[in-house]
Amino acid sequence: MQRIPRTLVLSIAFFMAFLTGMALSDHHDAGSHAMAEKSADGEMGEHSDSVGLHGGKLSITDHHQFETLFAKDGIRVFIYSAQQAPMMIQKSTGTATLIYKNKTKEVIPLLQQKPADDETSIYFCPMHPDVVQMEPGQCKLCGGMTLFIQDYLFARADLSTIEPGSVNVEIQLKDLKGIESEVTY
């Protein structure tokens, strides 16, 4: 199994920041930067301070980018190519493990879900990575192909009662498309 060079445990502090506005907004911080981190085995990888298309935190590997979004009703994971193009979930599955301060763990399955009508949606062309927009349409480069709506993996959990700093989250994904079929961050 290929892992992100250092297991990135997301703090619920991010969850609270997202709930106060960023998580459910259309905000995209194009001026953010990525920084290199060194894992215990000395490999270099990137953890991004950037905000994804849906307002979530980005995690980067050699072959994918993952956007993790925390909301009151659960955790959403969006998948992108190494070139930052949206990807479909296809057969990918996974788990979100909530790790509480008292060392207890709660493992929640991540299942494929399409965006609800009231959710911010990303539409894209799988053949042209630069064709990404916030409304339905057609790819002019393809000659009119209908754009795909980006789906995501969803772990249903009531996060509204979790206090900041009281839990960390570990995401494990498997059956990803391409060379990198499994990751943990």
SS3 at position 88: coil
Q: How far apart are CA 165 and CA 179, in angstroms?
A: 35
Q: How far apart are CA 114 and CA 112, in angstroms?
A: 7
Tokens coding 32: 């953010």
What pLDDT does residue 128 have? 94
The CA R_g of the chain, rounded to the nearest whole Å, is 16
Model pLDDT for residues 67-112, shown as the tens digit of each residue: 999 999 999 999 999 888 999 999 999 999 999 999 999 999 999 9
Q: Give percent of the chain above pLDDT 70.
A: 73
Q: How far apart are CA 53 and CA 58, in angstroms?
A: 10
What pLDDT does residue 49 have? 59
Q: Determine the average pLDDT of the residues in 27-51.
A: 37
